[in-house]
Amino acid sequence: MSTFNDWARGIDLSKIIEWLMFAAAALVSISVHESSHALSAYWLGDDTAKRSGRISLNPLRHLDPLGFLMMVVVHFGWAKPVPVNPARMTKMKSQKTGMALTALAGPLSNLLLALVFGLIYYIALYAGGMKLWMMMDGVRDPSGWQYWLTVFLERFLILNVGLAVFNLIPISPLDGSKILAIILPEASYSKLMRYERYGMLVLLALLWLGWLDAPLGFLMKIVLQGIQAVAMPLAKLIAGG
């Protein structure tokens, strides 16, 4: 019994709470991201995803168990692919443009979530009279509901910015590879798509080698600063100074 008590006392409860908060934020963010793809395709005339039940905020309709576990543990994961049929996007003259807009809907939804929760984050800080911070690198007192509220909002904000920036990388199967279609000439894009099957291997190699860390960190910093520039003045106004 004493061994169990020693083990229990060694558990860092605050770390477990933060892990659970990240998992909750990931569930919401992934569900919004994937349902945005489905809804965008439906608006363009393709009801394939709608008939598959993917226009839903129910996480169970979107999550891949292994992909979600990877996201929570190593912060790199995936969800179930949203089924779309560009040939049914009758509201678009170009199937390529329809696919690009459908792909873009996911990252845009995460940026919108980041802006909304960034505003709530700063309102909570101003209203609580607490010291501002953006990243989890300061010494804080984990006591009171205000602390945990701001931790959750901060996790949510950073996670959604990360999802948006990461998914815009123009490597298959990420959304950026489909958005690239409206930039490149048809012939160049077709040649690039011949190597689509190797995209995940290339992506994993880049992540493993750490070659994406610096550019992703730089882009995330820019986006976070943009959200801060918009959200902070609004939050101060709403919170009464």
Task: Please give the Cα distance from 236 to 19 (Å, whole number).
Answer: 29
Which tens digits make up the pLDDT trace of 43-99?
Answer: 999 999 999 999 999 999 999 999 999 998 888 899 999 999 999 999 988 888 899
Task: Please tell me the predicted confidence (pLDDT) of residue 196.
Answer: 79
Task: Please tell me the predicted confidence (pLDDT) of residue 147.
Answer: 76
Task: Please tell me the predicted confidence (pLDDT) of residue 141.
Answer: 55
Bridge partners, residue 63, by sequence? 79
- Contact between residue 116 and residue 160 where contact means Cβ atoms under 8 Å apart: no
Task: Please tell me the predicted confidence (pLDDT) of residue 130.
Answer: 53
> Which position has the token pair 């607490």?
130
Which tens digits make up the pLDDT trace of 14-54?
Answer: 788 888 999 999 999 999 999 999 999 999 999 999 999 99
- Contact between residue 164 and residue 192 where contact means Cβ atoms under 8 Å apart: no
- Catalytic residue, chosen from 18, 34, 186, 196, is 34
Which of these ranges, 38-52, 73-87, 181-195, 211-225, has the smallest mean pLDDT?
181-195
Going by pLDDT thresholds of 50, 70 and 90, the confidence category of residue 1 is low
Residue type at 104? L
Q: In the predicted model, what is the mean pLDDT of residues 213-223?
A: 96
Q: In the predicted model, what is the mean pLDDT of residues 221-232?
A: 95
Which tens digits make up the pLDDT trace of 108-159?
Answer: 999 999 999 999 988 888 776 554 444 344 445 555 667 788 888 989 999 9
CB atoms within 10 A of CB 202: 12
Structural domain boundaries in the chain: 2-238
Task: Please tell me the predicted confidence (pLDDT) of residue 180.
Answer: 86
Bridge partners, residue 5, by sequence? none
pTM to 2 decimal places:
0.87
3 state DSSP class of 63: strand
> Which position has the token pair 């008939």?
51
**Residue 34 annotated as catalytic:** yes
